[in-house]
């Protein structure tokens, strides 16, 4: 291949990379939601998670930068000649200033971008799954005091799951036959002890109680393709079931599992 053919190939690959980078940039900026308030299911596009699209964006950027370097090497004679034509004897300084300008552009964006302390607090800590539904259908993030590190958050989460499993174990051992109002009170207490809330998912319930999510879905009469990572608050509006039904089904499955 001639030098011209190589330039054509490199330029074509650069065009493909930059188009991919731009498209993924628009997807991540305008289409795929981010942050703890967005559900995990909404962060998927064409079967890939937002982070996976970010990885593709990164890989394309690396390839693009590599191609730019090759492009500069192949075109160095032309670049040097053009610089001499424009800047005369100061052509080296002209090229240096061109390189510095690219760094200045990034610096300008960094200086102009607004500083918003606390806006991104909690990103990446899994707090998106703690979205709770209000009576008006709005969503808010419950605050956790004193949690500054991911490790602390993880330990607290593990502790919650451990306590829930112990509680479900206690329910399995509890007496299932109680007379009259005592039985009703016992049932209500057991349902409350499960701690099943609208911000949880079927997978969360499985981790808390040990009951397979697929069995809960089947017992509720829901389709098998129900997204197990979607919050119950959203699913119940779509499939028209109540949180009380979920709690009762889970409690019944727990008691069945002890037999």
Q: Which residue has the tokens 């998670």?
A: 49
Residue 161, pLDDT > 60, answer: no
Mean pLDDT in residue range 206-228: 88
Cα(155)–Cα(159) distance, integer angstroms: 6
* Range with the poorest average pLDDT among 72-76, 139-143, 255-259: 139-143
Do residues 201 and 232 touch, judged by C-beta distance below 8 A? yes
Give the 3-state secondary structure of residue 197: coil
Do residues 196 and 205 touch, judged by C-beta distance below 8 A? yes
The model's pLDDT over 22-55, given as tens digits with 9 standing for 90+, comes to: 999 999 888 888 766 667 777 888 888 888 899 9
**Cα-to-chain-centroid distance, residue 2:** 47
pLDDT of residue 173: 54
Measured CA angle at 179 (ends 173, 180), to 5 deg: 125
Nearest to 242 by CA among 253, 233, 254, 251: 233
Do residues 85 and 60 touch, judged by C-beta distance below 8 A? no
Residue 136's pLDDT band (boundaries 50, 70, 90)? very low
Residue 153, pLDDT > 70, answer: no
What are the helix (H) ranges across the chain? 3-26, 50-74, 76-87, 91-112, 150-173, 180-194, 202-209, 213-219, 232-239, 243-257
Tokens of 235: 């699913």
Give the 3-state secondary structure of residue 133: strand
The model's pLDDT over 104-117, given as tens digits with 9 standing for 90+, comes to: 888 888 888 776 65
pLDDT of residue 130: 42
Nearest to 198 by CA among 143, 146, 142: 142
Residue 60, pLDDT > 90, answer: yes
Which residues 6+ apart lie within 8 Å of 196 measured at CB? 205, 208, 232, 243, 246, 247, 250
Residue 98, pLDDT > 90, answer: no
Report the sign of the C-alpha dihedral through residues 123, 129, 130, 135, in that order.
Answer: positive
Tokens of 86: 């424009």
Among 63-67, 161-165, 255-259, name the most confident range: 63-67
Q: What percent of the chain has pLDDT over 90?
A: 15
Do residues 38 and 227 touch, judged by C-beta distance below 8 A? no
The b/e string for 189-226 (b: 16+ C-beta within 10 A; e otherwise) is ebbebbbbbbbbbbebbbbbbebebebbbebbebeeeb
> What is the average pLDDT value for the chain, to the nearest integer?
75
Tell me the DSSP string of 45-76. ETTEEHHHHHHHHHHHHHHHHHHHHHHHHHTH
Tokens of 44: 């998927």
């Amino acid at each position: 291949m001639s030098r011209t053919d190589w330039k054509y190939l490199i330029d074509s690959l650069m065009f493909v990379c930059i188009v991919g980078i731009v498209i993924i940039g628009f997807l991540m900026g305008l289409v795929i939601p981010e942050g703890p308030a967005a559900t995990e299911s909404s962060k998927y596009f064409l079967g890939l998670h937002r982070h996976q699209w970010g990885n593709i964006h990164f890989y394309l950027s690396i390839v693009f930068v590599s191609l730019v370097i090759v492009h500069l090497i192949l075109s160095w004679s032309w670049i040097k000649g053009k610089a001499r034509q424009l800047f005369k004897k100061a052509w080296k300084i002209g090229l240096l200033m061109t390189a510095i300008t690219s760094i200045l552009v990034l610096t300008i964006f960094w200086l102009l971008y607004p500083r918003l302390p606390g806006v991104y607090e909690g990103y990446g800590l899994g707090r998106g799954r703690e979205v709770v539904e209000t009576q008006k259908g709005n969503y808010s993030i419950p605050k956790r005091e004193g949690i500054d590190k991911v490790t602390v958050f993880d330990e607290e989460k593990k502790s919650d799951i451990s306590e829930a499993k112990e509680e479900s174990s206690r329910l399995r051992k509890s007496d299932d036959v109680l007379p009259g109002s005592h039985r009703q009170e016992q049932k209500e207490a057991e349902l409350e002890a499960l701690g099943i809330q609208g911000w949880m998912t079927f997978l969360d319930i499985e981790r808390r109680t040990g009951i397979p999510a697929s069995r809960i879905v089947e017992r509720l009469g829901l389709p098998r393709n129900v997204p197990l990572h979607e919050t119950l608050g959203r699913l119940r509006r779509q499939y028209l079931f109540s949180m009380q039904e979920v709690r009762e089904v889970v409690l019944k499955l727990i008691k069945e599992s002890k037999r």
